[in-house]
Structure 1
Amino acid sequence: MMKIYGSIVDDETRCTHYHSEKDIIAIKFKCCNRYYPCYKCHEEHADHRIKPWPEQQFDESAILCGRCHTKLTIHQYMRTTNCPNCQASFNAGCTAHYPIYFELQTK
């Protein structure tokens, strides 16, 4: 099983910050190559600043479904609301944090 860092509260990657039924993903952070459930966990447990994924690397498998442990690329994750393997729903509110995790081109 993949090691998840941070303030984990269950085996589906929920943390003390985000623990609803749909908070079941972990993100591999570009800066340290470690999976955390959220940016707040990274801020509390890592000794460095968050470095967002550059857009040209969005084909990297950097998202982990906490329900079935399927890895998704950043592109796959950003284009779905459910795990393509187990159909578990992801929290749509996470899109508000995309600018923290991913370099997004402003148009």
Structure 2
Amino acid sequence: MKVYGAIVDNETRCTHYHTEKDIIAIKFKCCNRYYPCYKCHEEDADHTIERWPQDQFDELAILCGSCQTELSIHAYMHKDNCPHCKATFNERCAAHYPIYFE
């Protein structure tokens, strides 16, 4: 799966967010491209971010950087770790949900 932006390793960490737990990428609704974060999208894309509407939260739009499994938005929002490989996600990412999701 191709991930765009300022990536620093093979688990989708970027120059903006690169702690041990920063291992997800988000498929942006506006361009159908995976980015590690909104800052990477802003630097790379030539358009504004379009948020995922709630009625599309079953879409596969989250990529676990540890095992490359795609998760639905619902599955991601209700888990602290990947249901496939059990890698722990950064719980502080929830603060950015309003940027990505309605």
Report the Cα distance in structure 1 between the residues aligned to 2:69 and 2:90, rounded to whole angstroms.
16
* % identical aligned pairs: 75
Which residue identity is paired with 1:64? L
* Residue matched to 2:48: 49
C-alpha deviation, 1:83, in angstroms: 0.2
Aligned to 2:9: 10
User: In the alignment, does 2:65 pair up with 1:66?
Assistant: yes
Q: C-alpha separation between the residues in 2 aligned to 1:38 and 1:92?
A: 14
Stretches of structure 2 that go unaligned for 5 or more consecutive residues are none
Name the CA distance, whole Å, in 1 between partners of 2:85 and 2:75.
14
Query: Whole-Å Cα distance in 2 between the matches of residues 44 and 20 of structure 1?
Result: 20
RMSD between aligned residues: 0.3
What residue ranges of structure 1 are gaps of 5+ in the alignment? none
TM-score, scaled to structure 1: 0.95
Specify the SS of the correspondent of 2:88. coil
Cα displacement (A) at 1:40: 0.3
Name the residue aligned to 1:33.
32
**1:82 offset after TM fit, Å?**
0.3
